[in-house]
Chains A and B, each alone.
Chain A
Amino acid sequence: MSAVWAAARAAIRRRRLQTFVIALVALLCTATAVVSLALLDATSAPFDRAFEQQQGPHAVAFYDPAKVTPEQLAGARNGVAAGAGPFGQTVAETRAAGPVGSMLGPLAIVGRADPAGEVDRLDVWRGRWPAAPGEITLNAPPEDDAGFARGPMGHLSTLTVNGTTLTVVGWAYSVSHSADAWVTPEQMTAWRPSGLQMLYRFAGDVSTRDAVEERLAGVLPGGALLAAQPYQVVKEEAAETAGVYLPFLGAFGVLGLLVAVIIVGNVVSGAVVSGFRHIGVLKSLGFTPRQVVGVYLTMVIVPATAGAILGTGLGAVGAQPLLADTFRGLGYGQGTGVELRVWAAGLLGVPALVLVAALLPASRAHRLSAAEAISAGSAPRPGRALRVQRLLGGTRLPRSISLGLGLPFARPGRTALTMASLLIGVTTVTLATGLAGTLIETSRLDAAAGGDVGVRPGVAGPAGGPTTERGDREIEALLRGLPGAAKVGASAGLTVPVVGQSSPVQVNFIRGDVAAMGYQAQLLEGRWLAGPDEVVASAELINKRGLAVGDTMVLQLEGGRTTVTIVGETMQSLPGPGDGLFAAWRDLPGLDPFAFYYQVELAEGADVQAFTAAVRAADPGLTVWDNTDVTDLTIVITGISTVLALLLAAVAALGVLNTVALNVQDRRRDLGMLKSIGMTPRQVLTMLVTSMAALGVAGGLLGIPFGMAAHRLVIPLAADAAKVTLPDYVMRVWDPATLALLVVSGVLIAVLGALLPARSAARLSIARVLHNE
């Protein structure tokens, strides 16, 4: 093998440029692939690990105490491998001192004596488990101290449930989310539980929701089962954030791998074509056909492996912030590393792909007859190229340009591959442009909807902070009066029971400029509310409850029933507990002062910090916060897709550079001849750049539709994963100017790629060409 290695090393040295191109392409593709795989892996692996650690229940079941006794439940073990319960459970309105409590909403509370057990072994990560009535432990994912202090739960020391004030004694974490909080069984008995909780691990198949439900139905036949949560529900929630990244990382990943295959194929076939003489020499020395192929494969596998090693490292580092973002607050803390199998896939996958891509052109070297190789040299076939050249020669274009336009026809195969890499470059740039457009539009909508500043009465604090003296209307007037305020919206949030539905809805009674602050603009369907019996629902609520625009709901309000019609669907609801309805303002006497919420949109150029400071100064009894932050997701996705698009465009340019370098190499003699008859260096440059710019235009025109199609495919997939519905207009990001710029991007990629080798060809000394031929 040492002879093959010696020859391959020489070939690598001769083709520094191509070697560099291959290494870079392999690096980029590996990095993208590793990030995608790490995320893919992350959508299940850390959850699975935590779930196993806690011996999470396959189903959390909730039985009707009127139909089954605790003894019957404890005795029913059909198909159950391990179980815990029955535990008394209730869903209760909770309230804490200060405004935070009013945001907690109803909590599912379970009476449980012991955090350990056969299943759902809870991690009590701060404080302790309730030991006596009057104590409560909350469910929250473990966080570092800084994160903990920042979260809303960090302030809680007492909690009022069903009129009883409980002391918060600790925090525990249940991966399976079997409850929001736990108390002692005695405390639960005192409240008279509304259901009995059973936690089951089953012996049989639990791979799907249906399978779990089937197992569960077998445990205790009869109608006592009220509700159940298969573990897949929690698992899918855990995968949500990762699921948003996957579609577009996948799209870029596929484009990257395609470009890798094309460029490697082009580099190797170029090396084989321009290396005919080289192959002939190797064969005349006694290299076997297989060894010759070995030389050419070694030539690409060395840089590809080097690129893959660097790319794997880069991908692993690059995946960290995404993984951390994915797991923030999910409580799988330790699980944010990149798994070994992902490393292995990165290290082996791309070099293997490169090898396969190289195999086909390298096998030409295998078949090439030595005699032919040694005598033939590497002159491209004339025929068609000559005909095109003759046609172009008849036009009135400057000769250097018409010669350049004819060049791509001399080697149709190479031209096709170059065009394909340009096409992918433009596709990528188009996709990234579309993604950025959609995301910016979406986040603008988001930001507008949230307002710039949010305000609530009261200030959070361990002992209940200062409260405002002002009433609802006075607060609104205060906010409107402060310098910088452009729009002020007020709302009162109320949890309202719905006739015929098991859980209540959050209704936001709105006043002022709420509609004008983005919510009306982001209507997905229908129209904005126009009267007291009309409501607008968030997409989340509509999806969760199987509603539709046009449906009516009967709300139990102020002791009576109010029928409302859903006239519109919005992307999102007001900040606060999610699935809300917008309803027209009505004065609700006796409303909790903490239920009021105000959002302010500032005038163009007004300073958010100054405004929040002004509000605090005007009334220390108000909680004020900055609501402007664009979501991390938008920044991350726009950032990554821009970087990936630039990188892939650079790779496409490298593909062009490789092609021009090969063309120049093939045509050294022609170039020497053209110069000897008086072609200036500038004309040589023009000729070579023209040849690629023409391909750039064609690649641009063809790549744009592909990019637009990819955008159409990726955005809905990502939105789906994020469980949001996007209004159609955020998809309409294309206008003639953008499209024209995208065509220009194709030309730019081509020209930038061609410039370097064209310049060195322009400087090529005739004497040297003639000396070496």
Chain B
Amino acid sequence: MTTETVVRLDRVRKEYGETAALDGVSLTIRRGEAVAVMGPSGCGKSTLLNMIAGLDRPTSGEVTVHGERLDAMNETRLALFRRHHLGMIFQFFNLLDDLSALDNVALAAQLTGSSAATARRRALELFDELGITDRRDVYPAALSGGERQRVAVARALMNRPALLLADEPTGALDSRAGEQVMDLLIDLNQIGQTLLIVTHDARLAHRCASRLVELADGRIAAESALDRV
């Protein structure tokens, strides 16, 4: 495992009006790591993830991802950065209802300039790897929660991201589907995918992550290395 830094946060602060959702967070994630962020509801987990994904900008502090200063980028450059270097999955999947499962996934590659045909071929590869090939022409509304999340993972992996961000990836799933998604994340990390998982599910953190970051009131309360179970 190399020690190349993928994410570096330096004294990041984010205010919403009067209140600070993040209050001086510094954090480094190296390539190949799987980091879990835990904490009670409202402690700033999603805000932290949004900073790293460039979905929102810090009030102060520096955010460096894959060697680039996100806090200094404009919206368009952030978008270009995201499409090439990041993959995201969400609690509620966020698939586009009017694209088939396959087209939802292919869209990510089309964004980087692939033709529709190339994008579909790559998407089919991922469907095969994730074991959902038979669901490729189904629309999101007809997929089960677990299937939706696997389609979302496939979409996140399309452009071979340097970092995969997951916000409560099992939060909306029953335990069996949750297990499958966890296994998937572990497999991905084992073949070298850097992961940042936001969760309040201790089981998920302990199974998938090599390091745990605990947030409380917008600050890092504790950091610890984990032995994966």
Residues of A within 8 A of B (CB): 2-3, 6-7, 10-11, 13-14, 277-278, 280-281, 283-291, 369-372, 374-375, 772
CB distance from A538 to the nearest CB of B (A): 67
6 contacts between A and B (CB under 8 A): A2-B110, A10-B98, A284-B55, A288-B76, A370-B55, A375-B46
Chain A residue with minimal CB distance to B93? A281
**Residue of B75, B86, B90, B115 ringed by the most chain A CB atoms within 10 A:** B75
**Residue of A14, A284, A287, A375 ringed by the most chain B CB atoms within 10 A:** A284
A288 CA to B79 CA, complexed, in Å: 5
Which residues on the A side are within 8 Å of B99 (C-beta)? 6, 10
Which residues on the B side are within 8 Å of A277 (C-beta)? 94
CB distance from B103 to the nearest CB of A (A): 7
Which residues on the B side are within 8 Å of A772 (C-beta)? 141
**Judging by beta carbons under 8 Å apart, are B79 and A283 in contact?**
yes
B56, CB-defined interface residue at 8 Å: yes
Q: From the candidates B50, B81, B96, B116, name the one contacting A281 in the complex (CB within 8 A).
A: B96
**Judging by beta carbons under 8 Å apart, are B76 and A289 in contact?**
yes
Query: Would you list which residues of chain B between 67 and 86 have a CB under 8 Å from chain A?
Result: 75-76, 79-84, 86
B53, CB-defined interface residue at 8 Å: yes
Query: Would you list which residues of chain B between 29 and 72 have a CB under 8 Å from chain A?
Result: 46-47, 50, 53, 55-56
**Given A7-B107, A286-B84, do A374 and B55 touch, yes or no (CB 8 Å)?**
yes
With contacts A374-B90, A375-B46 known, what are 20 further pairs, Cβ within 8 A?
A: A2-B110, A2-B115, A3-B107, A3-B111, A6-B103, A6-B106, A6-B116, A7-B96, A7-B107, A10-B103, A280-B94, A281-B96, A284-B82, A285-B82, A285-B107, A285-B108, A286-B84, A369-B56, A370-B50, A772-B141
B126, CB-defined interface residue at 8 Å: no
**Judging by beta carbons under 8 Å apart, are A289 and B94 in contact?**
no
CB distance from A497 to the nearest CB of B (A): 83
Which residues on the A side are within 8 Å of B111 (C-beta)? 3, 285-287
CB distance from B55 to the nearest CB of A (A): 4
**Residue of A286, A289, A372 ringed by the most chain B CB atoms within 10 A:** A286
A444 CA to B46 CA, complexed, in Å: 75
**Residue of B81, B90, B107 ringed by the most chain A CB atoms within 10 A:** B107
Which residues on the A side are within 8 Å of B47 (C-beta)? 371
A14 CA to B98 CA, complexed, in Å: 6
**Given A14-B98, A278-B96, A281-B96, do A287 and B115 touch, yes or no (CB 8 Å)?**
no
Which residues on the A side are within 8 Å of B98 (C-beta)? 10-11, 13-14
B212, CB-defined interface residue at 8 Å: no
Which residues on the A side are within 8 Å of B76 (C-beta)? 288-290
Chain B residue with minimal CB distance to A291? B79
List of 8 A-B pairs having minimum Cβ-Cβ separation, nearest first: A286-B83, A371-B56, A288-B79, A3-B110, A10-B98, A286-B82, A3-B111, A371-B55
Query: Would you list which residues of chain B between 140 and 155 have a CB under 8 Å from chain A?
Result: 141, 155
Q: From the candidates B84, B94, B96, B110, name the one contacting A374 in the complex (CB within 8 A).
A: B94
Chain B residue with minimal CB distance to A2? B110
Q: How many contacts A-B (CB < 8 Å)? A: 79
B183, CB-defined interface residue at 8 Å: no
**Judging by beta carbons under 8 Å apart, are B50 and A6 in contact?**
no
A2 CA to B95 CA, complexed, in Å: 18
**Given A6-B99, A374-B90, do A284 and B75 touch, yes or no (CB 8 Å)?**
no
Residues of B within 8 A of A (CB): 46-47, 50, 53, 55-56, 75-76, 79-84, 86, 88, 90, 94-99, 103, 106-108, 110-112, 115-116, 141, 155
Which residues on the A side are within 8 Å of B96 (C-beta)? 7, 10, 278, 281
**Judging by beta carbons under 8 Å apart, are A371 and B50 in contact?**
yes
Which residues on the A side are within 8 Å of B55 (C-beta)? 283-284, 369-371, 374
**Judging by beta carbons under 8 Å apart, are B116 and A2 in contact?**
yes
A695 CA to B55 CA, complexed, in Å: 39
A237 CA to B127 CA, complexed, in Å: 74
CB distance from B21 to the nearest CB of A (A): 11
A372 CA to B46 CA, complexed, in Å: 11
A499 CA to B218 CA, complexed, in Å: 104
A417 CA to B125 CA, complexed, in Å: 48
A13 CA to B100 CA, complexed, in Å: 12
Which residues on the B side are within 8 Å of A6 (C-beta)? 99, 103, 106-107, 110, 116
A287 CA to B94 CA, complexed, in Å: 15
Which residues on the B side are within 8 Å of A371 (C-beta)? 47, 50, 55-56
CB distance from B14 to the nearest CB of A (A): 10
A280 CA to B76 CA, complexed, in Å: 14
CB distance from B149 to the nearest CB of A (A): 14
CB distance from B167 to the nearest CB of A (A): 9
Which residues on the B side are within 8 Å of A285 (C-beta)? 82-83, 107-108, 111, 155
A277 CA to B95 CA, complexed, in Å: 10
**Residue of B53, B76, B95, B110 ringed by the most chain A CB atoms within 10 A:** B110
CB distance from A664 to the nearest CB of B (A): 16
Which residues on the B side are within 8 Å of A280 (C-beta)? 94
**Judging by beta carbons under 8 Å apart, are B80 and A288 in contact?**
yes
A286 CA to B114 CA, complexed, in Å: 14
A11 CA to B99 CA, complexed, in Å: 9
**Judging by beta carbons under 8 Å apart, are B110 and A287 in contact?**
no
Which residues on the A side are within 8 Å of B81 (C-beta)? 286
**Residue of A6, A277, A283 ringed by the most chain B CB atoms within 10 A:** A6
**Given A6-B99, A371-B56, do A284 and B94 touch, yes or no (CB 8 Å)?**
yes
CB distance from A741 to the nearest CB of B (A): 43
Chain B residue with minimal CB distance to A369? B56
A372 CA to B98 CA, complexed, in Å: 22
A291 CA to B76 CA, complexed, in Å: 9
Which residues on the A side are within 8 Å of B107 (C-beta)? 3, 6-7, 285
CB distance from B166 to the nearest CB of A (A): 12
Q: From the candidates A14, A284, A290, name the one contacting B88 in the complex (CB within 8 A).
A: A284
A2 CA to B155 CA, complexed, in Å: 17
CB distance from A414 to the nearest CB of B (A): 22
A10 CA to B82 CA, complexed, in Å: 22
**Judging by beta carbons under 8 Å apart, are B141 and A370 in contact?**
no
Which residues on the A side are within 8 Å of B141 (C-beta)? 772
Which residues on the B side are within 8 Å of A14 (C-beta)? 97-98
A284 CA to B55 CA, complexed, in Å: 7
A253 CA to B108 CA, complexed, in Å: 44
Which residues on the B side are within 8 Å of A10 (C-beta)? 96, 98-99, 103
CB distance from B112 to the nearest CB of A (A): 8
CB distance from A20 to the nearest CB of B (A): 16
CB distance from A66 to the nearest CB of B (A): 85
**Judging by beta carbons under 8 Å apart, are A370 and B56 in contact?**
yes
**Judging by beta carbons under 8 Å apart, are A288 and B75 in contact?**
yes
Chain B residue with minimal CB distance to A373? B55
CB distance from B223 to the nearest CB of A (A): 24
Which residues on the A side are within 8 Å of B88 (C-beta)? 284
Chain B residue with minimal CB distance to A282? B96
A290 CA to B111 CA, complexed, in Å: 13
A176 CA to B111 CA, complexed, in Å: 65
A693 CA to B84 CA, complexed, in Å: 51
Which residues on the B side are within 8 Å of A284 (C-beta)? 53, 55, 82, 88, 94
Which residues on the B side are within 8 Å of A370 (C-beta)? 50, 55-56
Which residues on the A side are within 8 Å of B97 (C-beta)? 14
A135 CA to B112 CA, complexed, in Å: 85
A369 CA to B116 CA, complexed, in Å: 28
A284 CA to B79 CA, complexed, in Å: 8
